[in-house]
Chain A
């Protein structure tokens, strides 16, 4: 799934800045109060006041960093990391995993790209974060323990620069490692998925459109007349169909009606989440012409076939049957190969609808569709047949310039729910119309396109090529139906760019499930390599968060404790939502103490503990403390773009900018805390 809930950085920045201001003020006040309390205990009230103010005033110049000194500390941090060889170990493990991991990856799965990407990204993420955890938490405490820190603090260098310098240094090391891993991973994924197929041209068998009685046992497309299968590669094979694309059905002679020509094409069918382009080897790029029985056959290298009638009267089927395909291809000296996989590593740039609303069975407006009893509430359902149920996807601010082609891809990812068996061999059908309400001569007029029918394709992204120019219907002031051709975006959507895509299910008793991301216009396919890089940038930001946290905690904790604390922070970052749900009682089972009790007593999650007493109270306290920490550590999962990348969706730059701001803010906050913590220690005094 893509980022259908992402609304842009401008919508985010205002509230975020306000929240940042509030948190910064509260944190400063809290920090001052704690410092004051400690000082009072140490030095007495009057001395404490002086100490606190001195600290604050000294902090202002200390937080002014010198890039040169930060750079020097960073260089030291890099040298130290290289000396410890943690990076090399991490890289070695990664290389080994890639060397042997390929043996165990299932390239014949439905979506091998997801398997490959999941493997390299999870491996990279784990190793990089683990490395960041180790180098960031062990560095300072060991320097302090070995007294080597004095070689630094005796120099004219500020505590803040020690903290920031280390963070920067470790991050630079991590960046190099991550870049290397990213490039190798990209090569590994592309190479792992790369394959092509061959097929025997003599194996083409005549089939009937939509028939299930095919040599492969699979249902033929509605426009398919021949079928063959490729050789098996990478654990799968593709069906190849000869599909009818177009035909000129005009009258040929005065003796009767006939077809003047037909356009056909060989197409591979989707298997394991991808298809291939057909290549007819032996056929020149500009095509090869053959003639027989008054017909001219033109074969094209990309699998296209045009049959033209010179003499005689034919219908479409008669034309196709005039020369069996296998014999034709053999005569032409063609061999059939395919290109590499198509549509497997993509980065779709979707234009999601701004609003989703529903009409119920009687046509009334509803906030949600029908609940068909699925556990997941992500999809809401509309029923088919004569029901008035509709799902309305409202787009606002559409711009025609975003869709330069004459045909715009409209992607659908629907769910289907059947209440009756119906025709098993057919998928549930539906239709989409585009409409907009505009003011004409002071009255509201609804402009509606002709319905675009489709057969649903569940658990896949189904692309409907939509002609930009559509025939649109409306009624004039006298109620007479009018019909005119309009551009979907420039004319029908109008200046406001408002367009509604109205979805309905055609089959009685059957349902379509939709979510806000179920219908969108695909603006373009962005670069997959770039998208891959964006995903790695997300891992880099996670590394930055871990490193900042680790270095900060190591300023006042010893190595092992800071390691454990950072690890805890990492857990909170990854499982924050789980902790929130536990704390708010959305999830059963209680906090750590209650969970331990249940484990030991082998009690299930929902069993009543009884009075609970001190256990429940103590557990509640621990749970709330854990919950509070989720507000300090950023949600690491938000930086994780593996799923959109694997699903083939572009990661918006604006989202990356938001994540980068969060990362930098957290790192800055950690640096300030680290600075004060380091200053309280005698070494940096």
Chain B
């Protein structure tokens, strides 16, 4: 009798086990590949989900026995183990026990090898937060590198991720060259041959990352970004919150970063010019790349002029249905505006004062005639045809607006012009003069000194820092006149800093600041007034002048300030509205950042401006919409 209950209990247990095995099988049945023509099967729910989302370990990346063992050894309590380890890592960080912190972080990633954010977070932690705890910059560099190495380790586990590659690009660029210790870090990185060897297993460490001074961190960063692009080309989809505009901007931007730093560290000569040339080519190739927009359309940044011409042509086509109507409506609108607006608008552009220029731009925006109003004056028998043209016009105008918006987001024109200007001999001379000036000032040679040899009586003259500054400013004035777009970018900020340095030298020499100053027109244009005016305000304890009244300077789609000429020629887009006052054709995407290295798709139809280069004017122009020189924001970007 005693056996019966025991027996039945065992039966119940076995039955329950059997029942539990059914859902277990449905969920966990592994996928079987068909062999010999067999179809195989897709496996259970878990196997199917893994396949659907590419979540199987082999498709994510390398299978690390140590990692798998640790995950198994945690007996399903991986989450708890991870939580404890994170807590420990934070404690070790608080206690400044860096060895233990580093070891714990390495244990965490064994348990979470495919959690991208963990790699990024902890790499950032090591490179940015731990490194700065060290007083010695060499110790900081070592820990910055540890963060890089940590992130690099994550690549093997996550072969389908471009995020890690982008982070590496950003870290290699920003952490090394935008830290307080950038000079030292870049120097150490340049000479870190052991690390270069390690990196060579991931990125090409040949002449693509090397300047005559050695391996450049920016160029290595570019290689990481190019690898991220390669991942996408290989079929890894860009996530929906990644803007194509920002994603493809990263690799070509690195050349100019390298060039700017080389100019600071070494006397600007051919290597810097060459790097700027590469920067221009890469940026132009980026402009020729077809980019997917957030409206699910494609555009090219270099298509602005072509699209503009198209808009103008369609506008003329529309106006042909109701000749004179646009002018009549514009005149009516103009008549309603205050007399000062009318006067400013009527004045030739070259004769306008800054205030008048603002008024003229404001007026142009206010007398803009809606294209749909033209339609109202079209005869009924032509209405359908005119309506079709109107729709085409509106579509082209929208495209132009989007191109403009995207160009503005990445400060496209500014960097294009800057890359172009920086290659010029004038600019190199100016930069070299500044480099010399700073070196001379550091040596205490403030101004030109003459020494007479007591024996021979010969006089030798040594140029001083002050004269070198003046030489540089004169050259820069030329450049700024030739490339007025640079006035509103960081170039102007840089000039302001250099002017301050120069002023301090004059103070030490007890001499007044020259009035007029060669670069006064630059400061006047950005609203600071001449240097003499700035100094006067400074003496009186006043702040900078208040900005001119806010005027919406957004380009009014394709409406020029002045209507087309009587011969029907299309005027170029005015520089105030982001036009390119240049005749140089945009070179099509080619080598460098082009297709060969994961660059642009197709050769692109680089836009070519047909108008002659505008005569540079000293008349200050209002700030263009492409002024923001730093990290762009706006609708395109999730980028930075």
| A residues at B contact (CB < 8 Å) | 104, 109-111, 114-115, 118, 212-213, 215-219, 232, 237, 374-376, 378, 415-416, 418, 421, 424-425, 427-428, 456-459
Contact = CB atoms under 8 A, between A and B. Distances in A.
Contacts of B511: none
B98 A212 contact: no
Given A216-B191, A217-B188, A217-B190, A421 B180 contact: yes
A209 to B, nearest CB: 16
Given A111-B99, A376-B95, A376-B96, A424 B137 contact: yes
Contacts of B96: 374, 376, 415, 459
B194 A237 contact: yes
Given A217-B188, A458-B136, 7 more contacts: A115-B103, A212-B184, A213-B187, A216-B191, A424-B137, A427-B136, A459-B96
Contacts of A424: 137, 180-181, 184
B15 interface: no
Contacts of A215: 191
Nearest to A510: B135
A109 B105 CA distance: 14
A218 B94 contact: no
A599 B99 CA distance: 31
Most buried by A among B66, B102, B134, B138: B138
A458 B134 contact: yes
B135 to A, nearest CB: 4
Contacts of B137: 424-425
Contacts of A375: 94-95
B597 interface: no
B139 interface: yes
Given A110-B99, A232-B194, A375-B94, A428 B135 contact: yes
B497 interface: no
A459 B143 CA distance: 13
Contacts of A104: 66
Given A104-B66, A232-B194, A459 B188 contact: no
Contacts of A217: 187-192
Contacts of A378: 95
Nearest to A103: B66
Nearest to B66: A104
A273 to B, nearest CB: 10
Most buried by A among B103, B136, B187, B192: B136
B135 A425 contact: no
Given A104-B66, A427-B135, A109 B99 contact: yes
B139 A458 contact: yes
A428 B136 CA distance: 9
Nearest to A110: B99
Contact of A212 (B66, B142, B180, B187): B187
Contacts of B99: 109-111, 114
Interface in B158-212: 180-181, 184, 187-192, 194
Chain B: number of interface residues, binned into ranges:
20 to 34
Interface in B117-141: 134-139
A232 B192 CA distance: 12
Contact of B135 (A237, A374, A416): A416
Contacts of A416: 135
Nearest first, the 5 A-B pairs at minimum CB distance are: A375-B94, A217-B191, A217-B188, A416-B135, A458-B135
A377 to B, nearest CB: 10
Contacts of B190: 217
A82 to B, nearest CB: 28
A215 B103 CA distance: 31
B150 to A, nearest CB: 12
Most buried by A among B96, B139, B181, B191: B96
B194 A457 contact: no
A428 B66 CA distance: 42
22 contacts: A104-B66, A217-B187, A217-B189, A217-B191, A217-B192, A219-B138, A374-B94, A374-B96, A375-B94, A375-B95, A378-B95, A418-B135, A421-B180, A424-B137, A424-B181, A425-B137, A427-B135, A428-B135, A458-B135, A458-B139, A459-B96, A459-B98
A215 B96 CA distance: 31
Most buried by B among A110, A374, A416, A457: A110
A114 B99 CA distance: 9
B191 A376 contact: no
A415 B98 CA distance: 13
Contacts of B184: 212, 424-425
Contact of B136 (A111, A115, A118, A457): A457
A231 to B, nearest CB: 11
A213 B184 CA distance: 9
A218 B188 contact: yes
Nearest to A417: B135
Interface string B83-110: 0000000000011101100110000000
A237 B187 CA distance: 18
A6 B194 CA distance: 44
A395 B464 CA distance: 58
A218 B190 CA distance: 11
Contacts of B135: 416, 418, 427-428, 456, 458
Contacts of A456: 135
Nearest to A418: B135
A623 B66 CA distance: 36
B170 to A, nearest CB: 23
A424 B134 CA distance: 11
A237 B191 CA distance: 14
Nearest to A415: B96
A228 to B, nearest CB: 13
A374 B96 CA distance: 9
Nearest to B102: A109
A376 B94 contact: yes
Nearest to B106: A106
B616 to A, nearest CB: 40
B465 to A, nearest CB: 22
Contacts of B66: 104
